[in-house]
Amino acid sequence: MATPKIAILFVCLGNICRSPTAHGVFEQRVAEEGLASYIHIDSAGTGDWHLGEPPDPRTLLAGQQRGYDLSHLRARQVQTSDFDQFDYILAMDRKNLVNLQQLQPQHFTGHLGLFLPFGQDSIEEVPDPYAGGADGFEEVLDLIERAAEGLLAHLRDGPLKQFPPSH
Ligand code: 4NP
């Protein structure tokens, strides 16, 4: 049987800016740490406007400039069944967290919460960059890169301990 993985879903509104950035950044960090066989990563949006689309061109460019290739990602909408498949469902802001809390089945035993508190920042929400300028996409990356390190540390301290060393 395949090794069970810790499954992490990043969620924003459109799944073309913030959550694909978190998806790609965390995927790369997990691969660099040799942990890809233990952690499954995905992203989704609470909205349905961009289904099947690649990330926003500004998201792709900002990511590319820091060495992240996000071009393979495609937008999808969160589904109730995601609560059966993911251990961590991490929202980029409170509005999306509230929407997820409304979808959450009673039997869900995983972690549903905001992503940024895993990092050291006092900022708890990733601001929506969609209607703004290029600076917003840089800020998204700054916040997500720091929280990704915190999430990695959290997983090493707990859930990853069930797996054999290499970490
Ligand atoms: P995201 O940004 O939630 O970070 O992907 C947005 C993308 C699209 C829209 C809003 C936010 N929209 O309204 O289409």
Between the CA of 8 and the centroid of ligand 1 the distance, in Å, is 20
The pLDDT value recorded for residue 167 is: 45
The C-alpha angle with vertex 127 and arms to 122 and 133, in degrees rounded to 5, equals: 130
Between the CA of 33 and the centroid of ligand 1 the distance, in Å, is 30
For ligand 1, which residues put their CB under 6 angstroms from it? Answer: 12-18, 45, 49, 128, 130
Q: What is the mean pLDDT of each run of 10 residues along the chain (167 residues)?
A: 84 98 98 96 98 98 98 98 98 98 97 96 96 95 98 95 71
Pick from 159, 160, 136: which is nearest to 21 by CA? 136
CA distance 148 to 98: 22
CA distance 98 to 70: 27
The pLDDT value recorded for residue 3 is: 66
The pLDDT value recorded for residue 2 is: 64
The pLDDT value recorded for residue 61 is: 98
Burial classification of residue 12, based on how many CB atoms lie within 10 Å of its CB (0-12 exposed, 13-18 middle, 19 or more buried): buried
- Is 12 tagged catalytic? yes
From the list 17, 18, 42, 93, the catalytic residue is: 18
The pLDDT value recorded for residue 165 is: 66
Between the CA of 59 and the centroid of ligand 1 the distance, in Å, is 11
- Is 29 tagged catalytic? no
